[in-house]
Amino acid sequence: MLKLQGQDIYLATLERRDCKRLWNDFEFDFDHPYEPFNIGHSEEKADAWFDEIQKLQGERHVRLGIFMNDGTLIGDVALQDIDRTNRCASLGMGMAKLANRGKGYGQQAVRLMLNYGFHFLGLERITANTLEINIGAQRCLEKAGLTLEGTERRAVYLNGHKVNRLNYAILVEEFRPAGDAS
């Protein structure tokens, strides 16, 4: 079982029960929405999500649960679409409950995954996308060292409006692990 330790959180392999927990605990943030919008899905959908994670784990994706140090599951983070030829992947992260957002747990999770991707998987570039209206995600990505590279104008239809999608990236030589002052 993979476990990556942070200051307040750790990342670990998700079990089927964890996927159900995340699925049931998820609270959509209407003030700071992000894609996808998955309200009202059944627990069977959580089982299908776990099966998909297992099918792709290690080959195309590395998806881990975000746990508080006391073992409470609060979210998930993933390196997705891993391209070993071009040494790149995309990063995705989500917190299930609104109360756990904006407290720095996501930034810790992102930094742990960046470190894992760069130093253990040999990646050289990691990207992430967020909606222009999701200021919290933008702050998290920027604090973790990702750079805004571009804007996909009117790329996502959300709540009756077209919204811009922002594209971020970080290169291996730009990454500084937490606590590294160099």
> Which residues have CB under 8 Å from 144's CB, separation 6+?
107, 110, 111, 114, 170
The CATH number of 3-174 is 3.40.630.30
Nearest-angstrom CA–CA distance, 169 and 180:
20
pLDDT by residue for the chain (182 residues), tens only, comes to 789 999 999 999 999 899 889 888 888 777 766 655 555 567 788 888 888 888 888 889 999 999 999 999 999 999 999 999 999 999 999 999 989 988 999 999 999 999 999 999 999 999 999 999 888 899 999 999 999 999 999 999 887 889 999 999 999 999 987 655 44
Residue 10: closest CA among 62, 60, 54, 73: 73
Are 164 and 123 within 8 A, CB to CB? no
Domain boundaries, the chain: 3-174
- Burial code (b: 16+ CB inside 10 Å, e: under 16) for 132-165 equals ebbebbbebbeebbbeeeeeeeebbeeeeeebeb
| Sheet with 161-171: strands ordered across | 3-5, 9-13, 62-68, 73-83, 88-95, 125-131, 161-171, 147-158
pTM here is: 0.90
